[in-house]
Structure 1
Amino acid sequence: MAEGKIIKALSGFYYVLSDGQVYQCRGRGVFRKRKVTPLVGDYVSFQAENEQEGYILDVFERKNELVRPPIANIDQAILVFSAVEPDFSPGLLDRFLVLIEAKNIRPIIVVSKMDLVDDETKPRIEQYIRDYRQVGYDVLEVSVKTRAGVDVLLPYLEGKVSVFAGQSGVGKSSLLNALRPGLQLKTGDISHHLGRGKHTTRHVEFIEIGGGFVADTPGFSALEFDEIELEQLPLCFPEFVARSADCKFRGCTHTAEPKCAVKEALASGDIPSYRYEHYVSFIEEIKERKPRY
């Protein structure tokens, strides 16, 4: 019985990398009974007569997993957000960050298409970059067209399993092509009518880049907090965590409680108002969701 890592899932087949060789496998019926679906990134045991006819026998315990995109055992998430076309969206970025923080995955923010930033949009983009760096996030400024910042990203990938994610049309596939010339992933133009990109990636697949594995994932533009509980949400904002010990009440929700260090930092301008507004709106969204049974 061999062991390996699933590096691609497509049309009911799982492609398992083991000792430098890739085996095409199917899942045994036992997975349907256990309600376990193998994911890209899973470590598995399998048996194979040859490279085309294998069967996954067991999926080993995961350290984390995402539902959208469906991937497991991730070290870090490269969150690609364009400065323009489509416009930088801190609200959507904060949604991604909450989901990533909740899974204990390290987020790295990449602001793409910096070559398209003009004098009018530059102050706003630069302020967002300063804000997220102040929180403690790594924020990289990148232009695929000029290759500015592309090589800065490469060392972050070495020895890691990374997932590239972000709104459709921000240039994820273009960035991956720039990181590994010759990859030739399909890229999509921006639909100016819709203001977002066309979906170009149809499945999840690992690509070897920079001494690590990168997952190119389908683009998507909505995230729900189905798995995040109210008490978990404040822990997904690092600047709140850093100040929570100074709140008067233990377990402070940073909303209605008096002598809240987070609200004091908000009042003094140390926490951007939009971050706090997103936090409050996420609280309401979690409160209003339908209960799970």
Structure 2
Amino acid sequence: MTQKLTQHQIRAVKKMLANKGRRQQIKELRSGKPPEQRPKSRTPRRKDWDADDEDYFTSEKIRRAEKIKAGPQPREVEVVDREPEVTGTVIEIRSGDSLVMYQGRTVRAMLPAGARSVQGMRSPLAVGDRVELGPGPSGAAYITHVAARHSALSRDATIGSGPETAHVLAANVDQIVIVCSPKEPPFRPGLIDRYLVAASRDGLPAAICLNKTDLAISEEVEVALQGYAALGFDVLRTSAEAGHGLESARAQIAGKVSLFTGHSGVGKSSLLNALEPGLALRVGDVTHATAGQGKGTHTTSSARLIPLSLPETFVVDTPGIRTFTIRGMAPRDLASHFPDIDALAAGCAYSDCLHSAEPNCAVRSAQHMDPFLRGRYKSYRLMLAELER
């Protein structure tokens, strides 16, 4: 005679089978083998977790949602102000998943569905984020926790008149390297100033790298480079084509995580290839048509964290951009991110002077006598107008 199990016994058996299945998933994740090479689990993945189970995902710390009558609840990724227990570093974010450097190898990891959208952010993840991983369905890895960032560089990603959306270019970087060129595409001090303001706002040191020094350098470019150096910024001169200035550039990035950024076509990827032989990043040429329009070509489609052969040295190769909108500060705070303008502000007649249309403004008077300051003041006025909208 077959004895019918009680509900309590059925529940205990289910829990035992589920624990066995979870242990198998963790073992497969740590094995490093692709899913197709792993032995299939004999125990089907449990789909009926109860939130009141005593061991409800405590070992993996996976925050799942239980489907209830009101509908599916959003899945979340917790941001923790501590060192992750199972540390991986996001090296690239792709459509639907991310590549994570984990225990010396690269694994594909996904965010829970409900965590892929965060108000005010284009993405909850950024290249350089330190994360914890847990097992998911079909042997895939899931990102379960994101460690608090010690630094990040962000730009406004708002399209049209929509709500402000921040795009974090990279997290946990030590400095940014603003790559520019004397021509093809032309030197753009206004874009450099925007990067410098963003770096100052986000508390990051910045260096300026003039690449393509094998091309003719105009007096205007020389004046600007000398002006930036006088403000205390490191100014590098390199030529990926001719191999000039590479040792100085290597010394600048050694032992750091450096974000390389700049206008499209200035040769960021070519420069990184020259700094690290064998890297073989894809590069593109600036055609005569685009050069005449001041445009370059995009060869990097998404930000990538790349380890170099120098000890503890990483670079973030970012796509070239043509615009960089400043957000995240009050108009009255903008001048503090222009050290030359901020120093002159003490001579203004009004303590709350925005150096725009106020009478007896020391900044407006001084910029007429200094070509470099004149260009900086133009950048300041353009950014001020954006912040006042």
TM-score by length of 1: 0.87
1:102 aligns with 2:235: no
C-alpha distance in 1, partners of 2:218/2:153? 36
Name the stretch that deviates more: 20-29 or 195-204: 20-29
Equivalent residue in structure 2 for 1:192, among 258, 263, 288: 288
C-alpha distance in 1, partners of 2:153/2:372? 30
C-alpha distance in 1, partners of 2:369/2:244? 35
What is the one-letter code of the residue matched to 2:152? N
* Partner SS for 2:367: helix
* Partner SS for 2:214: helix
Q: Following TM superposition, by how much is the alpha carbon of 1:15 offset from its aligned partner in structure 2, in angstroms?
A: 2.0
- Aligned position for 1:291: none
Is the Cα–Cα contact under 8 Å of residues 160 and 213 in structure 1 kept in the other structure?
Answer: yes
Aligned residues: 284
Q: Following TM superposition, by how much is the alpha carbon of 1:245 offset from its aligned partner in structure 2, in angstroms?
A: 4.8
Q: Following TM superposition, by how much is the alpha carbon of 1:199 offset from its aligned partner in structure 2, in angstroms?
A: 0.9
C-alpha distance in 1, partners of 2:377/2:247? 33
**What CA deviation, in whole Å up to 9, does each residue of 1:42-68 have, x standing for no partner?**
11111248xx72110011222324245
Root mean square deviation of aligned Cα: 2.5
Equivalent residue in structure 2 for 1:64, among 143, 152, 155: 152
Rg larger for: 2
Give the alignment of 1:28-107 within 5 angstroms. 28-32=112-116, 37-48=124-135, 53-62=140-149, 63-67=151-155, 68=167, 70-107=169-206
Q: Following TM superposition, by how much is the alpha carbon of 1:244 offset from its aligned partner in structure 2, in angstroms?
A: 4.1
Is the Cα–Cα contact under 8 Å of residues 178 and 261 in structure 2 kept in the other structure?
Answer: yes
Greater strand percent: which structure?
A: 1
* Partner SS for 2:384: helix
What is the one-letter code of the residue matched to 2:282? K
1:204 aligns with 2:294: no
1:253 aligns with 2:354: yes
Structure 1: runs of 5 or more not aligned = 289-293
Give the alignment of 1:2-41 within 5 angstroms. 2-32=86-116, 37-41=124-128
1:114 aligns with 2:202: no
C-alpha distance in 1, partners of 2:168/2:183? 24
Equivalent residue in structure 1 for 2:246, among 150, 167, 170: 150
Greater length-normalized contact order (CA 8 Å, ≥ 6 residues apart):
1
Structure 2: runs of 5 or more not aligned = 1-59, 61-85, 156-166
C-alpha distance in 2, partners of 1:236/1:133? 16
C-alpha distance in 2, partners of 1:34/1:273? 40
- Aligned position for 1:216: 317
Is the Cα–Cα contact under 8 Å of residues 152 and 172 in structure 2 kept in the other structure?
Answer: yes
**What CA deviation, in whole Å up to 9, does each residue of 1:17-65 have, x standing for no partner?**
233233221112342475562111111111248xx72110011222324
Give the alignment of 1:117-196 within 5 angstroms. 117=216, 121-195=217-291, 196=295
**What CA deviation, in whole Å up to 9, does each residue of 1:120-144 have, x standing for no partner?**
x432221111111112211111111
